[in-house]
Every structure is written in C-alpha cells, then in structure tokens.
Amino acid sequence: MKKTLRFALAVMMTFILLLLGACSMEEPTSGGSENKEGGEGDQMVIGLTVGTLANPFFVSMADGAKKAGEEMGAKVIAESADYDLAKQTTQIENFITKKVDLILLNAVDSKGIAGAVAQAKSAGIPVIAVDVDAEGGVDATITSDNYQAGKLAGEYVVKELGGKGKIAIIDGPPVSAVTDRIKGFEEAIKDSGIEVVAKQNGEGSREKALTVTENILEANPKGSLDAIFAINDPEALGVQIAQEQAGRQDEFFIVGVDGAPEAIDAMKKEGSTIAATSAQHPDEIVKEAIEIGQKIKDGEKVEGLIKVPVDLVTQDNLDSYKGW
C-alpha cells in the first residue's frame, strides 16, 4: 500500500514539474510600448537630437520639447550631437534600439544624416526634421523661415549703410537653415552697392567665429569694414569679442540670427555693436513638430514643410521683444 502511495505521489510531482517547465518556456508577448526603453506602459517616447546643447537656441528647443511632451503625457529624450555626424548617427540608431515612437531631428549635416533617417523609417519610426531639413525620407520639416531671417538681416544692413559699403559674412555648418539664411541675405544686398570682402565658416560657434573674425580683421585694415553678418547669435558674440580685442568697435556693426538671450543682453549694454538679430522661436518650432508627429502616428496626412515666421529685433524695438 505504501509503495503504491509513494509511486502515485512521484507520478504527480513529475507531472507538476513538467507543467511548470512548459509554462516557463512560453515566449513573452511581443510588440507595443511594453518593449520600449525609457517609457512607462503605453507612454509615448520621443527622441530629440540637436546640433549642440552648448547653443542656447537648442537648449530652449529641448526645454520646449520636454514641456510639450509633459502636456501630452510623453517622455522626451534630448541629446546633443555636438556637430558630429557620426555621433548623431549613433544617437538615432540608439533611438531605434529603444523603440521610441517619434524622432525629432536637428541635423548636423542635412545630406550626411540620410542613412540614419532611412534606418529609422525602415523601423517604422516617424522622423520630423526641426530647424533644418534632412534627407533620407523625413515625414515633415518644421523650421523657422530661415530665408526670411537672412533677408531681414540683409535689408537692415542695406538700410543702415545707405546701400553701399564693405562687409564680411561668417558662414556656418552645411545645413539647410544656414544656406537659406545666406541665400536670403545675399538676395537682399545683391542690387545694392554693398561688397562682400570676406566670407568664412564660423561653424556656428562663438569660439570659431572669434578666430575667423580675427583673421578677417587682420586681412582688412581698420576703416575697411562697415558691417559683419553672422548666421547665428553665438557667432555674432564671437565677432563682437574679436572686434573689442582689436579695438575696432567704432568701425562696424554686427547682425546675427536667433534672438538668443545672451545676444539680447549684449544688445542692451551701452555701446553694443550687435545692432540687430532675426529672432527665431525654438519652442514654437518643436511644439509644432510634436503635434505633427502625433498626427502622423494617428494616420493623418500632414504638410511636408512648415515655416515659422521670424522677427527682426533691433535697438529700436528691443524693449518689446519677449525672447525665449
């Protein structure tokens, strides 16, 4: 009797162990936001990569994205590419691995980033270009009207110089925002008597702009420059430092693009040589991008290119400018 009971118990235990083993081998259910990194449950996750978070413009953009994300219950992962194409490519690949729902891309190289964009698209992740266009099949581009920004700056220079004079241009990274600004600026001055005596790449940074401006000032003696146009405010600030170090504040004025807080503060100081800046609205750009991204996720059709207007800030209307 005891042997029979022990045998029955052994059979029962074996059956239970086999049943538990079979259950443990079942594959977990795949798909959906449960497999995403960084999100909670069904929470939407947005990846944002920008040129550099050393630029207040992109800091404002990242803050605006996080604020807009919070309002819709989404998490935003913001990263700085530091104007390094390889680094930005890796960031997008990491976003793909994390299975984010949407990628917002401020390309450091509009053409060079095409391969990474194509990878994201193949993974079924919508990509919205912000501030600059990008190749590779982005779903939409939300940008400031950069042509207008350059044109307003150029018109201001023409007006202040009475249609004649010698100027220099501090160029920037090879992205659509920069080329559009240069295009707008050159269009505004083309029929005037203004001569561009130097054009160098400031790479969008204060430090590089300072260095190239020093070179320009060495090549163009005192009294030979009337104005310098910089494609963004960090460059404009670098130009101003070089100008001060050379003791040439009374010679020429500076015009930038962005409407950045630091540039506005500089303009408010007595004797400032930064005369104007075409002010962008980075928070509006990124908010619009997130809204467009949500529409795409919902299957709605959207415009391929949306331009956000800019405003020219000068000494005359400085006090009324709200800033970022």
Given a contact cutoff of 8 angstroms between Cβ atoms, the answer to whether 131 and 67 are in contact is no
Interhelix angle 56-71/282-297, nearest 10 degrees? 40
> What pTM does this model have?
0.77
> pLDDT of 122-132, one tens digit each?
999 999 999 99
Average pLDDT value for the chain: 90
> pLDDT of 238-266, one tens digit each?
999 999 999 999 999 999 999 999 999 99
Residue 3, pLDDT score: 46
Q: Is the pLDDT of residue 26 over 80?
A: no
> pLDDT of 179-198, one tens digit each?
999 999 999 999 999 999 99
> To which H or E segment does residue 228 belong?
strand 227-230
The structural domains of the chain, with segments of one domain joined by +, span 41-143+282-308, 146-281+314-320
Lowest mean pLDDT of 24-33, 52-61, 266-275, name the range. Answer: 24-33
pLDDT-derived band at 11 (thresholds 50, 70, 90) equals very low
Identical fold between 41-143+282-308 and 146-281+314-320? yes
146-281+314-320, CATH topology level: Rossmann fold (3.40.50)
Residues 273-278 have a mean pLDDT of 98
Q: Is the pLDDT of residue 68 over 60?
A: yes
pLDDT over 70, % of the chain: 87
Residue 170, pLDDT score: 98
DSSP 3-state of 45:
strand
Q: State the Cα–Cα distance between residues 268 and 318, nearest whole angstrom.
A: 8
Tell me the torsion sign for CA atoms 151, 157, 162, 164: negative
Q: Is the pLDDT of residue 21 over 50?
A: no
Tell me the torsion sign for CA atoms 100, 285, 253, 261: negative
DSSP 3-state of 238:
helix
Q: State the Cα–Cα distance between residues 43 and 36, nearest whole angstrom.
A: 9
Lowest mean pLDDT of 3-12, 58-67, 110-119, 281-290, name the range. Answer: 3-12
Residue 320, pLDDT score: 95
Residue 36, pLDDT score: 61
Amino acid at 95: F
The tokens for 317 are: 């209307």
> pLDDT of 150-184, one tens digit each?
999 999 999 999 999 999 999 999 888 999 999 99
Q: Is the pLDDT of residue 59 over 80?
A: yes
Q: State the Cα–Cα distance between residues 141 and 127, nearest whole angstrom.
A: 9
User: Which CATH code of 3.40.50.2300, 3.40.220.10, 3.90.180.10, 3.60.40.10 fits the domain covering 41-143+282-308?
Assistant: 3.40.50.2300
Q: State the Cα–Cα distance between residues 254 and 239, nearest whole angstrom.
A: 8
Q: CB neighbours (10 Å) of residue 144?
A: 27
